[in-house]
């Protein structure tokens, strides 16, 4: 084979390798935009501590804040898992916390810990019914009790926004399981 021809083949091979490398980078960038994941170490830790599916915690964070730490709702819920100060105070009291200040919810560690505690508590309250627990996380336990409590099914949720929230979390949980199994320790 002639030297110029060999150089052309080598050059094409290099271009192909670069294209594949960039394709992988593009795929990673798309995944980061469409299905972000941060704080996977804290998520794994809290999932293990509270006997929760790490993909579920990630999906709740996705639905609540899209993994943006600085989120604050019009109702005053704060952080990654959108925990309200009232809920956080109750959790701090129930879990033996000594002092709680609202700015604690800005810490990813504390926010994910409190949000996971709340999620575990709701699952226990509703006998493991994930639909009821997620609906209560979004719309409050009073509404879930009115809609059927531990027997709640998706079609029983009367608020379209809450039904869409539950559907989104359930779908994203599967996506996090598929897309981040290794990162989440699944």
What amino acid positions are annotated as catalytic residues?
64
Among 64, 62, 59, 57, residue whose Cα is nearest residue 43: 57
Q: How far apart are CA 139 and CA 75, in angstroms?
A: 12
Q: How far apart are CA 134 and CA 117, in angstroms?
A: 13
Q: How far apart are CA 136 and CA 43, in angstroms?
A: 21
Residue pair 65/82 in contact by the 8 Å Cβ criterion: yes
Enumerate the β-bridge partners of residue 72: 78
Half-sphere exposure of 130 (CA within 13 A, CB side): 14
Q: What is the DSSP string of 35-98?
A: S----HHHHHHHHHHHT--HHHHHHHHHHHHTT-TT-B-TT--BTTTTB-HHHHHHHHHHTT-S
């Amino acid at each position: 084979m002639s030297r110029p021809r060999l150089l052309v083949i080598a050059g094409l091979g290099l271009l192909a390798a670069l294209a594949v490398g960039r394709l992988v980078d593009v795929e990673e960038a798309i995944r980061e935009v469409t299905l972000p994941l941060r704080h996977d170490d804290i998520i794994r830790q809290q999932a293990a501590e509270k006997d929760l599916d790490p993909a579920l915690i990630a999906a709740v964070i996705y639905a609540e804040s899209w993994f943006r730490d600085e989120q604050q709702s019009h109702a005053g819920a704060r952080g990654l898992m959108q925990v309200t100060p009232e809920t956080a105070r109750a959790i701090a009291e129930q879990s033996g916390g000594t002092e709680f200040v609202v700015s604690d919810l800005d810490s990813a560690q504390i926010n994910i810990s409190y949000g996971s505690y709340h999620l575990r508590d709701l699952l226990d309250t509703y006998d493991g019914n994930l639909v009821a627990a997620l609906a209560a996380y979004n719309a409050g336990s009073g509404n879930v009790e009115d809609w059927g409590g531990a027997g709640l099914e998706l079609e029983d949720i009367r608020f379209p926004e809450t039904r869409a929230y539950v559907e989104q979390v359930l779908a994203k949980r599967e996506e996090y399981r598929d897309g981040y199994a290794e990162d989440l320790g699944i």
